[in-house]
Chains A and B, each alone.
Chain A
Amino acid sequence: MLSEKHLPAFYALGALLLIILPWILTAADSSYLISTATRLVIFAIGAVSLDLLIGYTGLVSFGHAAFFGVGAYVVGILAFHNFEETTFLGFDGTLTGLIVLPLAILISALFALIIGALALRTKGVYFIMITLSFGQMLFFLFVSLEAYGGDDGMMMFEGRNILPAIDLNDRITFYYFCLAIFTAFFLFCHRLVRSKFGRVLAAIRQNEDRMTSIGIRPYSAKLLIFVIAGAGAGLAGALMANHTEFVSPGLTHWTKSGDLMIVVILGGIGTLIGPVMGAFVFLLLEEFLPIIFHELGMDLLKEHWRVVFGPILILIVLFAKTGLYGLIFKKEG
């Protein structure tokens, strides 16, 4: 077991691994896995953003995939109108990344502001339920959007967003683009949780009732972090839409919120690197469990790999209170 003193070395090693990953995969003749690696990096952005709420502020949000979906749909809808040469509320569609990506962040932040403003009036179990409900509301909203494929979602026929000098349609370039954005977001969160605002969030998590008497309105602080986390999820969603060149209501389904939550808990709440490891293990199991069972000739388990997946998650969470992070690192102090 490592101590938290080894964290910088662990970060460096992880960063190195992520940087050389495409070479390794190409050399191993498994370059199809670059797509999985890209998903990992995108998924990690979503998980880290959710951990800002669950781990750092004590807000168990069960509707985080909603903002992921909003970000994805901003990309999808703009691509759709660009292809059809029609307008959305008077605006032309576009594939220009410098417009689409900031817009996706902004609009998911706006949704988080509205949903957060209402949901944060509740606490505890009620907060879990109300965020879940808002998530499902968005799910059904997207299902009802017949123009955008309804249930089936829609393809981005013209490919990914366009950026100057960066060809996102190249598999490896896109991986590095997502990795760069993930790194920037991770460093932002790292800074945030150690900031004065981060200290307020930690205080709210531990003793919310005390805040009023020292002149802090918990509601405002919680709303700000809810918006930041929503924007982060929206960014991840926008990248995911680009990655798969496809958006559908399934992105916002409550099971996706559950997946994000599992990743955060599996990795270790209240640690930023934990959810990243959680995303890694989650996708690894999801990718390879069916293959392993196939190789073993256990076709029934191959079909129902989640039957094995579930207990593995439960075991990890049971034996390591702070998830994978707790398995690897001994907490100081």
Chain B
Amino acid sequence: MLDIQNLSKSFGALTATDNVSLTVKKGTIHALIGPNGAGKTTLISQISGYLTPDSGSITFDGQDLLALPAHKRPHAGLVRSFQITSVIPEFTVRDNVALVLQSLNNQVFRIFAKASADREERAKAEAILERTGLSDEADTRAQNLAHGQKRQLEIAMALAADPKLLLLDEPMAGMGVDESRSLTDLLNSLRDTTTMLLVEHDMDVVFSLADEISVLVYGKIIATDTPEAIRTNRDVQEAYLGTHELHNEEPA
């Protein structure tokens, strides 16, 4: 589904992505973990087109992704969510989702179609809000949502684009325990239809969802393996997991 080869990106003297190769197989949830500043978001941004890599290649669904402008990638089925919540603040929750549907239906330039009159779009948006647990907030302005709900909206917007591959940049960041659990369930229910690349700090979530895990440290992938193998990997423990209490936890 997604094949990254020898990808590099530097900001001056800092090499944020250092010769990274990574393959996300279709139908899997692939987690990307690593300490703060390892370059996870930088990698996500290159896949989604917000940053241009210095060298290397990315193939998505058989096509050369780097030749595809960033705004066309969601139309090809590649959708990202943001670590720092980024919604349309003055829009209602429903309109945030409806905007995504409008874009994916290629209706951006409809000058005469009244936005509030599209019942089909409205129904679709509400179905997505139902799935993401935001139905009660459909008419709330996004800026008035609680933090956890904003995170849910972020996911709802990503799902509205009906992605083949979902790039999730710390979806649980700042969520409460219950919200985090229900989002984990939601992502789990999507695994049959959607391939995911998941960046996440919450190791419970990572180990309960991931089919494969890659570990990024200082811009380099130091290991890619099954969750069980990652848990016992010496390099990983030294570089990263040593600071966590993972070895005490049971895999899901």
Chain B residues in the interface with A (C-beta under 8 A): 48-50, 69-75, 79-80, 82, 86-91, 95, 98-100, 102-104, 107-116, 118, 141, 157, 161
Instruction: Assess whether A195 is in contact with B86, with CB atoms less than 8 Å apart.
Output: no
Please name all residues of chain A whose beta carbon is closer than 8 Å to the beta carbon of B75 when the two chains form the complex: 215
Please name all residues of chain B whose beta carbon is closer than 8 Å to the beta carbon of A333 when the two chains form the complex: 141
Stretch at the interface among A17-25, A147-155, A197-205: A197-205
Please name all residues of chain B whose beta carbon is closer than 8 Å to the beta carbon of A197 when the two chains form the complex: 108-111
Instruction: Assess whether B74 is in contact with A215, with CB atoms less than 8 Å apart.
Output: yes
Please name all residues of chain B whose beta carbon is closer than 8 Å to the beta carbon of A214 when the two chains form the complex: 74, 79, 99-100, 103-104, 157, 161
Find residues 26-80 in chain A having any chain B CB closer than 8 Å to their own CB: none
Chain A, 303-328, contact with B by CB distance < 8 Å: what is the 0/1 string?
Answer: 00000000000000000000000000
Shortest C-beta distance, B50 to chain A (Å), equals: 7
Instruction: Assess whether B89 is in contact with A212, with CB atoms less than 8 Å apart.
Output: no
Please name all residues of chain A whose beta carbon is closer than 8 Å to the beta carbon of B69 when the two chains form the complex: 217
* Cα distance A70–B100 in the bound complex, in angstroms: 38
Number of A-B pairs, beta carbon distance below 8 Å: 97
Question: Given A194-B114, A199-B102, 10 other A-B contacts at CB below 8 A?
Answer: A195-B112, A199-B98, A206-B90, A210-B86, A213-B74, A214-B100, A214-B104, A215-B73, A215-B100, A221-B109
* Cα distance A215–B105 in the bound complex, in angstroms: 10
* Cα distance A28–B86 in the bound complex, in angstroms: 58
Find residues 199-253 in chain A having any chain B CB closer than 8 Å to their own CB: 199-200, 202-203, 206-207, 209-217, 220-221, 224
Chain A residues in the interface with B (C-beta under 8 A): 191-192, 194-200, 202-203, 206-207, 209-217, 220-221, 224, 333
Shortest C-beta distance, B36 to chain A (Å), equals: 22
* Cα distance A224–B111 in the bound complex, in angstroms: 10
Please name all residues of chain A whose beta carbon is closer than 8 Å to the beta carbon of B95 when the two chains form the complex: 199
Instruction: Assess whether B113 is in contact with A195, with CB atoms less than 8 Å apart.
Output: yes
The answer to whether residues A200 and B108 also contact, given A213-B82, A215-B161 and a CB cut-off of 8 A, is: yes
Instruction: Assess whether B103 is in contact with A195, with CB atoms less than 8 Å apart.
Output: no
Please name all residues of chain A whose beta carbon is closer than 8 Å to the beta carbon of B74 when the two chains form the complex: 213-215
Please name all residues of chain B whose beta carbon is closer than 8 Å to the beta carbon of A210 when the two chains form the complex: 82, 86-88
* Cα distance A202–B91 in the bound complex, in angstroms: 9
* Cα distance A266–B49 in the bound complex, in angstroms: 40
Shortest C-beta distance, A198 to chain B (Å), equals: 7
Instruction: Assess whether A199 is in contact with B115, with CB atoms less than 8 Å apart.
Output: yes
Instruction: Assess whether B80 is in contact with A213, with CB atoms less than 8 Å apart.
Output: yes
Shortest C-beta distance, B159 to chain A (Å), equals: 12
* Cα distance A194–B110 in the bound complex, in angstroms: 11
Shortest C-beta distance, B95 to chain A (Å), equals: 7
Instruction: Assess whether A224 is in contact with B115, with CB atoms less than 8 Å apart.
Output: no
Instruction: Assess whether B72 is in contact with A215, with CB atoms less than 8 Å apart.
Output: yes
The one of A191, A194, A211, A224 in contact with B109, judged by C-beta atoms closer than 8 angstroms, is A224
**B69 — nearest CB in chain A belongs to which residue?**
A217
A selection of 14 A-B contacts at a CB cut-off of 8 Å is A194-B115, A195-B111, A195-B115, A196-B108, A197-B108, A199-B115, A200-B102, A206-B91, A207-B88, A210-B87, A213-B74, A215-B100, A215-B103, A216-B108
Shortest C-beta distance, B136 to chain A (Å), equals: 18
Instruction: Assess whether B88 is in contact with A203, with CB atoms less than 8 Å apart.
Output: yes
* Cα distance A213–B168 in the bound complex, in angstroms: 12
**B96 — nearest CB in chain A belongs to which residue?**
A203
The one of A192, A194, A207, A212 in contact with B70, judged by C-beta atoms closer than 8 angstroms, is A212
The answer to whether residues A217 and B71 also contact, given A196-B102, A197-B111 and a CB cut-off of 8 A, is: yes
Instruction: Assess whether B86 is in contact with A196, with CB atoms less than 8 Å apart.
Output: no
Interface centre among B79, B80, B102, B104 (most CB of A within 10 A): B102
Interface centre among A191, A196, A224 (most CB of B within 10 A): A196
Instruction: Assess whether B108 is in contact with A221, with CB atoms less than 8 Å apart.
Output: yes
Shortest C-beta distance, A7 to chain B (Å), equals: 16
The one of A206, A212, A224 in contact with B71, judged by C-beta atoms closer than 8 angstroms, is A212
* Cα distance A200–B73 in the bound complex, in angstroms: 18
* Cα distance A197–B112 in the bound complex, in angstroms: 8
Shortest C-beta distance, A243 to chain B (Å), equals: 29
Shortest C-beta distance, A206 to chain B (Å), equals: 5
The one of B100, B114, B141, B161 in contact with A195, judged by C-beta atoms closer than 8 angstroms, is B114
Instruction: Assess whether A213 is in contact with B79, with CB atoms less than 8 Å apart.
Output: yes
Instruction: Assess whether A196 is in contact with B80, with CB atoms less than 8 Å apart.
Output: no
* Cα distance A199–B109 in the bound complex, in angstroms: 10
Please name all residues of chain A whose beta carbon is closer than 8 Å to the beta carbon of B90 when the two chains form the complex: 202, 206
Please name all residues of chain B whose beta carbon is closer than 8 Å to the beta carbon of A202 when the two chains form the complex: 88, 90-91
Please name all residues of chain B whose beta carbon is closer than 8 Å to the beta carbon of A224 when the two chains form the complex: 109
* Cα distance A269–B95 in the bound complex, in angstroms: 22
Please name all residues of chain B whose beta carbon is closer than 8 Å to the beta carbon of A195 when the two chains form the complex: 110-115
Shortest C-beta distance, A27 to chain B (Å), equals: 41
Please name all residues of chain A whose beta carbon is closer than 8 Å to the beta carbon of B98 when the two chains form the complex: 199
Please name all residues of chain A whose beta carbon is closer than 8 Å to the beta carbon of B86 when the two chains form the complex: 207, 209-210, 213
